Homo-oligomer: A and B are copies of this chain.
């Protein structure tokens, strides 16, 4: 899936810069503008950070139809949605978007102006419309923040990168087992030993610990066990 981000009538240099950076953060190559306002490009450069190079290669389209032409599905975004008769503002929530995009090769995601969003004519050019769930008191997010949420949703669905080096079941079992040995040395009562063992099992398995975390815990438990064994042989 190769997304095109279409920014219609963007007004803020800071937003443009931040969106360039987001495109880099979430690996979106294709960002295009449609009739942008006059932008503060110094501000754009400042907010684009390491993605500043993208500002030199911006593609600008004269109208929305041209910008949408290569896409096999076009999704408009809006902060104003309707639960009633306004079909144009019937939306799906941002978190459902990735599942609806799965079957398409080149989705266009269209964002409107900071001040007024997309016009009804622009909304009517999309195949469907999406919105971000937010407070009914103040629902309109800053443009770059909206973009960040959509790109994040799509990125995480494309590629749930291993952010965690999760411990294997055997590693957790081993930690529980050694903790059980220690418990049985420290406690007399069989019921209490079982409870302690179970508590440790629950805590470890529920916390989805990483390999390094379990390794250091197991290491400590093993040392403690040896220490207790040593001291108990010394005191016969």
A residues within 8 Å of B by Cβ? Answer: 14, 18, 21-22, 24-27, 47, 49-51, 81-87, 90-96, 131-142, 144-145, 148-149, 152, 155-156, 159-165, 208, 210, 212-213, 216
Contact of A156 among B86, B87, B95 (CB under 8 A): B95
Contact of A90 among B85, B148, B212 (CB under 8 A): B212
A86 surroundings in chain B (CB, below 8 A) = 212
Additional 18 contacts, C-beta under 8 A, given A21-B145, A81-B163, A83-B163 = A21-B142, A25-B135, A25-B138, A25-B139, A27-B135, A49-B142, A82-B212, A83-B162, A83-B164, A92-B164, A92-B208, A93-B156, A133-B155, A133-B159, A133-B160, A133-B161, A145-B145, A148-B149
A152 surroundings in chain B (CB, below 8 A) = 94, 132, 149
Query: How many copies of the polypeptide does the oligomer hold?
Result: 2
Q: Are B163 and A92 in contact (CB under 8 A)?
A: yes
A155 surroundings in chain B (CB, below 8 A) = 133-134
Q: Are B18 and A142 in contact (CB under 8 A)?
A: yes
A140 surroundings in chain B (CB, below 8 A) = 25, 49
Which residue from chain B places its CB closest to the CB of A215 in the assembled complex?
A: B85
A18 surroundings in chain B (CB, below 8 A) = 142, 144-145
Determine the distance from Cα of A210 to Cα of B208 in the docked complex, in whole angstroms: 38
A210 surroundings in chain B (CB, below 8 A) = 83, 90
Contact of A163 among B87, B131, B145 (CB under 8 A): B131
A21 surroundings in chain B (CB, below 8 A) = 138, 141-142, 145
Determine the distance from Cα of A160 to Cα of B131 in the docked complex, in whole angstroms: 13
